[in-house]
Structures are given as C-alpha cells and as structure tokens.
Amino acid sequence: MEQCACVERELDKVLQKFLTYGQHCEQSLGELLHYVGQLRAELAGAALQGTPLSATLSLMMSQCCRKIKDTVQKLASDHKDIHSSVSRVGKAIDRNFDSEICGIVSDAVWDAREQQQQILQMAIVEHLYQQGMLSVAEELCQESTLNVDLDFKQPFLELNRILEALHEQDLGPALEWAVSHRQRLLELNSSLEFKLHRLHFIRLLAGGPEKQLEALSYARHFQPFARLHQREIQVMMGSLVYLRLGLEKSPYCHLLDNSHWAEICETFTRDACSLLGLSVESPLSVSFASGCVALPVLMNIKAVVDQRQCTGVWSHKDELPIEIELGMKCWYHSVFACPILRQQTSDSNPPIKLICGHVISRDALNKLINGGKLKCPYCPMEQNPADGKRIIF
Ligand SMILES: [Zn+2]
C-alpha cells in the first residue's frame, strides 16, 4: 500500500502541474487573442480611412509578432518542464513495483499461443459486456475477429438495459423482468420483486397527499409477499398516516433514503446474475484480484526457490507450490483433499466413499488394495474395493 501511495503522490504532483499549466495556457492565449484583436481592429480602421500604415502601427505590429513568439515559446518550454514530472511517475513505478514477474509464470502457459490469446480475448470481451461497455466489446470482437454469438451476448445486453434504467430511477424494465421471472426468483429466495414494488410505492409516497389514493391502490401488489415481508409492509402502511405532514419530517423519513436505489441495483445484479447463471463479477476481474493477492506470495517463494537452488519444487504446470489464501470471497465450491495421499482430488482421481463411510481418493484406494480386498485405513473394516462409490462435491 505504501508503494501505491508513493506513486499516487507523484501522480498528484503531475495532475496539479497540468491543471496549473492548463489555466496559465488559457489565460496567456486569451490575453494574446485580445491584444491581436485590438490591433486588428486598429488596422482595419486605418485601412478604411485609406491612410498608409503609420510608424506607430507598424511598430505595434512588430511588437505584437514578438509577443506572440515569446508567449508560444514560454508555453512550449513550460510544457516541456511537465515532461520531467511525468517521467518521475514512471521512475516511481519502477522503484516501487517489481516489473519482473515473468519468472513465476510457467513458460508452457503460452505454448499454444493462438488458442491462449483467444481465451484471453474472450475473457476480456465477457468482462466488457458485464461492465456494460457494449460498444468497446463489439469493437474488440471485430478487431480480434472473435466470433461471439448472440446467445452469449443476450443476457448481458438485457441486464445492462435494465440496470441503466434503474440508474435513471426507472423501475419499469426491472419490474417487468422480475414479474416474468417470478417463479424462478422465488426459488432463489429472492426478494427482488418485492423490493421493486416497495420502491415504486415509496416514490408515490414522496409525491405527497395527492398520491395517497394511487399509493393505496398500488399496495395491492404487496399481497403475494404478505407472509414473507409482513413487517416491511406494515412500516409502509404506517407511513401513510404521515403523508399530510410530509414524510421527510416523520419517523418514516428513512424510507426516502437514496440508498434504496443503490441497494436495488445491487440486488438486481446479484439475483439476475444467479438466475441467468452468470457470475456477479466477471471471471477476468476475479482472476485479476486473485492474481494481485497471489503475486507477492509467489514472488517470495520464487526468490526462496532460486536462492536455495531447490529445483523441481515448482515444476507442475497447473499446480502452485503452496496453498494461497484468497479469502472467503473466492470460495466457490468445496474441495476434497485425500487424507492418505494429501492431494486435492480431481476428475481423474475422484474421491471415493467406502462402505464404512470414510472417504479417500481413487489413487489411494488402488494403492491400498491387497489381494483383491481393501482394508479401510481408518476403521480397518475389510471390504470389496468395487463397493466404493464416487462422490461429487
Ligand atoms: Zn472406514
């Protein structure tokens, strides 16, 4: 963090310089324009009278030319001075961050370069779609001749259309979507539809006493949610009492809080993503964030490995030399490590449940077979190895 702050300080200096330069530039050019304009008017005046160019005017003209030259030169040299500050930022980055990170990436990662590149491009495109930067994503698809079919794009397009409307405080598209996906949302335990209706109701309340009737009639939308959200509905009904007085001065003023809008965007993104089978954060941003956490640890390990010259510690292409804690946010599914071989199970070496209930990996099971029989390493129950069942986490 200290390193980031260090670079940020240099960056602030440059930005400040740019700002001052911009203002100075604007002012000097403005003055110059004014001066030239005045001179031009005088020249035009003289031309109208048909008099030859007076000595004063000719002197003024040469003065003006000199002034223009001086000002432009001064601005150019000031601009040059900023370059040194910009390059200081570059130096600060070099000084504070390790640039050499290639060492911790296995060379084999880029073996099938073309294919890898396509995977990376696809990840970037998906990220851009997810961020709502549709035109940038399209541009990248075209430039990289990536073929993304409509089925892939469609959910992102729809999501973004609705989110954009929500940002504009337009509940219509989101409500329409929630109603048409009601059943599946309920299966997800989602309260999205209720929250959208509630927000619409609150907006009516904010309209004051003249919206009272409309609000009351809108309240029928809460009926399907009466059991699950009883308390919240009671609060909203209670707030009607204060409509005449003004909700903002009542104990219900929290209903008008703007944070509800941010919350609804979050709820919609989360629930719609899980319904459409998309991750809330794009795989690219998750990988990037994980990489930022893992990189310092891996670089330390690499340094130790190099220093002690213990080759072969880190040779597996798809395996890290140590476990790296990425935090709860990155827990997606359970993993099972075989208690016998102390290895994480995989598709080729899946976990097997023995009839006694103990679980070991298939490789361990194969190793433990003795004369067609298997003795559980935990409870020593003897059993037929074929009775073990594969389990899926
Ligand atoms: Zn057992």
Between helix 192-206 and helix 259-276 the angle, nearest 10°, is 160
How far away, in angstroms, is 359 Cα from ligand 1 center?
8
How far away, in angstroms, is 336 Cα from ligand 1 center?
17
How far away, in angstroms, is 380 Cα from ligand 1 center?
6
**DSSP assignments along 21-68, one per residue:** HHHHHHHHHHHHHHHHHHHHHHHHHHHHHTPPPPHHHHHHHHHHHHHH
How far away, in angstroms, is 342 Cα from ligand 1 center?
17
Interval 278-314: pLDDT, tens: 777 888 888 888 888 888 888 888 888 778 777 666 6
For domain 337-390, the question of CATH label 3.30.40.10 is answered with yes
How far away, in angstroms, is 382 Cα from ligand 1 center?
8
CA nearest to 267, candidates 199, 180, 218, 215: 199
Amino acid 316: pLDDT: 56
Look at strands 389-390 and 382-383 and give their pairing.
unpaired
360: confidence class by pLDDT, cuts 50, 70, 90: very high
How far away, in angstroms, is 347 Cα from ligand 1 center?
23
The Cα–Cα gap between 340 and 364 comes to 6
Q: Please answer whether residues 174 and 275 qualify as being in contact, where contact means their C-beta atoms are separated by less than 8 angstroms.
A: no
Amino acid 141: pLDDT: 87
Mean pLDDT across the chain, nearest whole number? 84
How far away, in angstroms, is 6 Cα from ligand 1 center?
58
Across 332-349, average pLDDT: 85
How far away, in angstroms, is 369 Cα from ligand 1 center?
14
The Cα–Cα gap between 115 and 360 comes to 36
How far away, in angstroms, is 366 Cα from ligand 1 center?
15
* Residue linked to tokens 């960056």: 11
Interval 230-274: pLDDT, tens: 888 888 888 888 777 777 777 777 777 888 888 888 888 888 888
Domain map (residue ranges) of the chain: 1-94, 161-276, 337-390
Across 140-158, average pLDDT: 83
One-letter amino acid of 272: A
How far away, in angstroms, is 379 Cα from ligand 1 center?
4
How far away, in angstroms, is 349 Cα from ligand 1 center?
19
How far away, in angstroms, is 335 Cα from ligand 1 center?
20
- Say which residues have a Cβ less than 8 Å from residue 362's Cβ, sequence separation at least 6: 349, 350, 351, 352, 390
Across 162-190, average pLDDT: 86
Q: pTM here?
A: 0.57
How far away, in angstroms, is 194 Cα from ligand 1 center?
50
Interval 79-133: pLDDT, tens: 888 888 888 888 888 888 766 777 777 666 666 677 778 888 888 988 888 887 8
Contacts made by residues 91-100, CB under 8 angstroms, sequence distance 24+: 92/6, 92/7, 92/10, 93/7, 95/6, 96/3, 96/4, 96/6, 96/7, 97/3, 97/7, 98/299
How far away, in angstroms, is 374 Cα from ligand 1 center?
10
